[in-house]
Structure formats: structure tokens, C-alpha cells
Homo-oligomer: A and B are copies of this chain.
Amino acid sequence: MKPTTIYDVAREAGVSIASVSNAINGKGKIGKKKREEILKVMERLNYQPSVIASALTGKKTYTLGLLIPDVANPFFAEIARAVEDIAHSAGYSVITCSTDNQDERVLAYIRLLEQKSVDGILIGTGGGADILAQLAEKPLPTVTIAREVQGLPVSGVATDDFRGASLAAAHLLALGHRRMAVLAEDLKVSSSQERVRGFRFSLFEAGIRLEDGDILPCASSIEGGKRATIELLRRSDRPTALFCSNELLAVGALQAAREAGIAVPTGLSVVGYDNTLLSTATNPLLTTIAQPIEQMVKLAFELLIGNGQESAGLVPQRIVMQPELVVRESTAMPQRADRE
């Protein structure tokens, strides 16, 4: 009933446990024959080394922590999947931590991950920079993904959110829109801020002023986007186009427009952000900004685990990827034939 240990195979193979250990880890200090014999015995006994025992001796736990706001959010679900795949292919498993961007949850999870001696943490969540700053002090390798942390001296990879928003703005501008608004999720999150800034700045350059009132902070959910849009559509000078900082909000906007009897894109254009599967589930299909998830994750993983081995004490490295505009059906030239 008890799992077989290194002692069992040593006894069975007639060698010392040190030799078994060496055989497993391929340290050169063992004869070929002996090695093969041991491997054979291991196979026969169906022996599987305990990673917790080996971790205790200073080796790695081969476990990573992934901090994200919410796995149930399609964008982060996709990130989680990508992380899982690349980690798994490198022998690691990952503990997913949904923080809801709440400081206390972030804190609790970090503590937990420390106690479990994970080999590293991938941070894709919001949460006070001060809290995350503590992390940088610790010996625990950390890299951020899909977000920046102000002044945090850790490596990370993100996509250029300012640029992504500019892409959206340029698209809308080119279509001829002048009255626009933005739906923004939690402004504590850097990526959200950047998207707002980028959009605003692009309009500014085009000579269009986006008032504070045109930027609506929303709960990051379909409902949140819907509520904000309803309010927007009630205004006398309602916008002809909406830029949403994520697709949950965009879906909400679509729904609000529909209920208000405003056709998209004819009466209202909307562009989302992230290019998740939600953007292909809506009708009309969402025009959106895509982030190269797989690549980001791949790079982040390499930064974390170190493809080279000496990445340890290096200077923090920030990689920024380029977003892309994906034009689908939810944007068009503005026309005031709204109330169809």
C-alpha cells in the first residue's frame, strides 16, 4: 500500500540508495550497466521518486504559481492554458491563483506559494504595487505577464497597451468617428490605465478631446459593460463609437445597444480588447485588439525559469510585444440612422 521508495529499489537492485539516486539523475558517477539495471528495477517496481522529498534537499519543486485576476475570465483562462502547456512540457505544474485583483487575496496567495516552495511566480494580476514590491525583495523568482508593475524591479513581458489602444483609436478615427467614449475596467490595473491613456492620446493628436465623463469605469463583467453603456446611450450627445478595455465590457455594450434598439455597427461601433473566444461568439463579431498570448507566455516562462541557467541575478528585463488590430464586424462609419 505504501508507495515504493528509493530504499526498495536499492535493496531490490542490490545497490546503495546513492547509486539509485545517481542513476535517476544521470550524474555521471555510475556505470552504464549498473545504471540500466537500476532503471529496470525502478520500472518493475513502478517506482516514482517523491518530488517533495527531493525538493527538501534543495532541489526544485517543479511547481509554479500563476497569479491572475480570474480564471473564469476568458482572457486569463487562455493565459492559464498557455502557461500550463509550456510549463508541463518543461516538467512543471502550475498552481492557479485567482485574486480578483484584491490585495488581501494576492497577499494570501503569495504567502501560500512561498510555503509551498514554488520555483517561481508569474504575476498577471492587479493588486497594490506595494504588495507586489515585497515580492521583489524575496528570493522567489518573479516575472510579470500582460501587465506592468510600477517601479517593480522584476522582469516581465507585456504587450504595448498604449499602442493597442492607439490602434483602436486610429481605426475608429479613420472610419470617421469623432464622438467616442471608453469603457474601462478597474483603473488600478496598469494595463487598463494604459489603454485609456493610449486611446485618449490618439484622439488628442487628432484634435479630439476626450472628457473625463467620456471614460466610464466599470465592473469587469458583461453586466458592468452593459450598465455603463446604457447610461452612455441615454446622453443627448451620445457617442458613435465605444472603445472597451476588455471583451466582457464589449459584450455588455453590444447587449445594451441591442436593448436600446441601436444597431451595431450602423448606429454604434464598438471595439473590444484581447481577442478571446468571446469576440467570435457575438453577433456582430467583435472588432478587437489581439495580444500574442502564446508568445508572451513563452517568453515569460523563459524569463522565469531561465532558458540559460545564469539568468538569476541579471538586470530585470522587460519585453514588450506588439498588439494587432483585428477588424471584424462591430465597427463601421458613423451614420445617424440610429433608431431603426
* Interface pair A281/B251, CB less than 8 Å apart: yes
Given A63-B95, A85-B98, A94-B95, answer yes or no on A115-B254 (Cβ-Cβ < 8 Å).
Answer: no
Partner of A53, one of B56, B95, B254, B281: B56
Q: Mark A56-100, 1 if CB is under 8 A from B, else 0.
A: 100001110000001111100110110011001000011111100
Choose from B74, B88, B115, B283 the contact partner of A74 (Cβ within 8 Å): B74
- B96 adjacent to A84 (CB under 8 Å): yes
A225 to chain B, nearest CB (A): 11
Binding site for B on A (CB under 8 A): 1, 3, 48-53, 55-56, 61-63, 70-74, 77-78, 80-81, 84-85, 88, 93-98, 108-109, 111-117, 139, 222, 248, 251, 254-255, 258, 277-278, 280-283
Knowing A95-B95, A277-B222, say if A71 contacts B52 (CB, 8 Å): no
Check B71–A117 contact: CB distance below 8 A.
no
Chain B nearest CB from A4 CB (Å) reads: 12
Would B98 and A95 count as touching, CB distance under 8 A? no
Contact of A93 among B3, B52, B77, B112 (CB under 8 A): B112
Classify the secondary structure of A's interface with B: helix
| A81, B105: Cα distance in complex, Å | 14
This chain: copies in complex? 2
Contacts of A254 in B (CB 8 A): 283
- The distance from the CB of A102 to the nearest CB of chain B, in whole angstroms, is 12
Q: Give every chain B residue within 8 A of A108 (Cβ-Cβ).
A: 88
Partner of A115, one of B50, B56, B251: B50
Contacts of A251 in B (CB 8 A): 280-281
By CB atoms of chain B within 10 A, which of A56, A71, A258 has the most? A71
Contacts of A280 in B (CB 8 A): 222, 251, 255
Enumerate chain B residues within 8 angstroms of A283, measured Cβ to Cβ: 254-255, 258, 282-283
Nearest-CB distance from A264 to chain B (Å)? 9
Please measure, in the bound complex, the distance between the C-alpha atom of A117 and the C-alpha atom of B63, giving whole angstroms: 12
Docked pose: A189 CA to B135 CA in angstroms: 42
| Least Cβ–Cβ distance between A78 and chain B, in angstroms | 5
Within the complex, which residue of B52, B96, B112, B222 is in contact with A55, where a contact is CB–CB below 8 Å?
B52
Q: Within the assembled complex, what's the spacing in Å between the Cα atoms of A184 and B53?
A: 45
Task: Contacts A72-B81, A115-B50 given; indicate if A95 touches B93 (C-beta within 8 A).
Answer: yes
**A104 vs chain B, min Cβ distance (A):** 12
Rounded to whole Å, the gap between the CB of A191 and the closest CB of chain B is: 20
**What's the least CB distance linking A84 to chain B, in Å?**
6
Q: Can you offer 12 A-B residue contacts whose CB atoms are under 8 A?
A: A1-B139, A48-B115, A50-B56, A50-B115, A52-B55, A71-B81, A74-B74, A77-B77, A80-B96, A84-B97, A93-B116, A258-B283
Least Cβ distance of A260 to chain B in Å? 14
> With a CB–CB cut-off of 8 A, which chain B residues contact A55?
52
Residue of B nearest to A96 (CB): B96
**Cβ-neighbour of A50 out of B84, B117, B139 (below 8 A):** B117
- Known A3-B114, A84-B97, A255-B280; 16 more pairs at CB < 8 Å: A1-B139, A3-B139, A52-B52, A52-B117, A53-B56, A61-B116, A71-B77, A71-B84, A80-B80, A80-B96, A81-B98, A93-B116, A222-B281, A248-B277, A278-B281, A282-B283
